[in-house]
């Protein structure tokens, strides 16, 4: 498949490198030091669970240098979606699909306004990874992509991408209910990212603090209530499964928002805890825990 990685950070870098190493025709669209590193040294992954990898890659600065592809993995941060989505146009052919891998639940509609709804599929990335330096991704755990058409159909274009992902060695799940999948990750990540960033603590520290664990439970309950008020039907075992995931995270695991906070970068807060608060107000659902998280992180919203 011809695949473009638009946004060569931790998510795009990790999955793009695995696809390139498996022989797919992958082009990375990057800028600045990242572009220079990819051209000169390729991509390196350090992973204690999946194995290290070093692969030469094709990297360009502009989508026009790439041209139409089969699949775009769109992995920019949420705060860059509105400004970057219009530049996707040169990548779009008759049956191109842009798989949005942003956190939150708003990216599909945001991107669809620029490239057409029929060219967009929702996606969820489960991966704990961070860019240590340009061209180097440090992977901790998890490497799963979930993606699907809004109408639930098993399209040939996504079946083909699923096969490519399986060949590359990561979990690639084609979903018939991607809206639910997006919300499942949203309520989890909105909670985890908010608690870890507000407390500036990794999962090991949080698990040792009963007060923080109780705060996490309250934040999860609020997010679920907001989703249900908006018509989302969650799996019956979601709370228990989420608590099990929290117990099994490596102690040093951090949310991407905490990583951004520690590095003085902009935060995705308005589309995570901020969105839970916003949706709650629209639906008449109280969200006091997320309101507190949103308030204490406001001074750091634009980075340093």
Q: How far apart, in whole angstroms, are the C-alpha atoms of residue 52 and residue 66?
A: 28
User: Does the pTM of the predicted model rise above 0.85?
Assistant: yes
Q: How far apart, in whole angstroms, are the C-alpha atoms of residue 304 and residue 142?
A: 30
Write down all domains in the chain, each with its CATH number in brackets.
2-176 (3.40.50.720), 180-300 (1.10.1040.10)
- In the chain, the N- to C-terminal Cα span, in Å, equals 40
Q: How far apart, in whole angstroms, are the C-alpha atoms of residue 212 and residue 65?
A: 48
Q: How far apart, in whole angstroms, are the C-alpha atoms of residue 171 and residue 17?
A: 14
- Coil vs helix vs strand at 192: helix
Asked if 123 and 147 touch (Cβ cutoff 8 Å), the reply is: yes
Per-residue pLDDT 10s for the chain (304 aa) are 999 999 988 999 999 999 999 999 999 999 999 999 999 999 999 999 899 999 999 999 999 999 999 999 999 999 999 999 999 999 999 999 999 999 999 999 999 999 999 999 999 998 888 898 999 999 988 899 999 999 999 999 999 999 999 999 999 999 999 999 999 999 999 999 999 999 999 999 999 999 999 999 999 999 999 999 999 999 999 999 998 888 888 888 888 899 899 999 999 999 999 999 999 999 999 999 999 999 999 999 998 7
* φ/ψ bin of 165: left (φ > 0), alpha (ψ from -120 to 50), beta (otherwise): alpha
């Amino acid at each position: 498949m011809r695949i473009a990685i638009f946004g060569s950070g931790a998510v795009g870098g990790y999955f793009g490198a695995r696809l390139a190493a498996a022989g797919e025709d992958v082009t990375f669209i990057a800028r600045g030091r990242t572009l220079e590193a990819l051209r000169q040294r390729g991509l390196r992954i350090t992973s204690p669970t999946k194995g290290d990898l070093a692969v030469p890659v094709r990297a360009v600065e502009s989508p026009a240098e790439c041209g139409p592809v089969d699949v775009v993995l769109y992995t920019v941060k949420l705060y860059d979606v509105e400004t970057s989505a219009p530049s996707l146009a040169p990548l779009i052919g008759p049956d191109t699909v842009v798989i949005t891998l942003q956190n939150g639940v708003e990216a599909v509609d945001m991107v669809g306004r620029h490239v057409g709804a029929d060219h967009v599929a929702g996606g969820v990335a489960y991966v704990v990874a961070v860019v240590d330096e340009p061209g180097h991704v440090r992977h901790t755990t998890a490497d799963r992509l979930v993606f699907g058409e809004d109408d639930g159909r098993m399209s040939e274009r996504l079946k083909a991408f699923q096969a490519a992902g399986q060949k590359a060695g990561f979990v690639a799940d084609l979903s018939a209910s991607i809206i639910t999948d997006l919300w499942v990750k949203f309520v989890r990540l909105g909670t985890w990212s908010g608690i870890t960033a507000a407390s500036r603590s990794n999962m090991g520290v949080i698990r040792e603090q009963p007060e923080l664990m109780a705060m996490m439970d309250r934040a999860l309950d609020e997010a679920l209530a907001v989703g249900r008020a908006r018509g989302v039907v969650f799996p019956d075992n979601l709370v228990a499964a989420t608590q099990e995931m929290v117990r099994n995270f490596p102690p040093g695991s951090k949310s991407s928002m905490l990583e951004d906070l520690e590095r003085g970068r902009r935060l995705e807060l308005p589309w995570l805890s901020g969105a839970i608060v916003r949706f709650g107000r629209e639906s008449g659902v109280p969200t006091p825990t997320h309101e507190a998280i949103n308030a204490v992180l406001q001074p750091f919203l634009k980075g340093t």
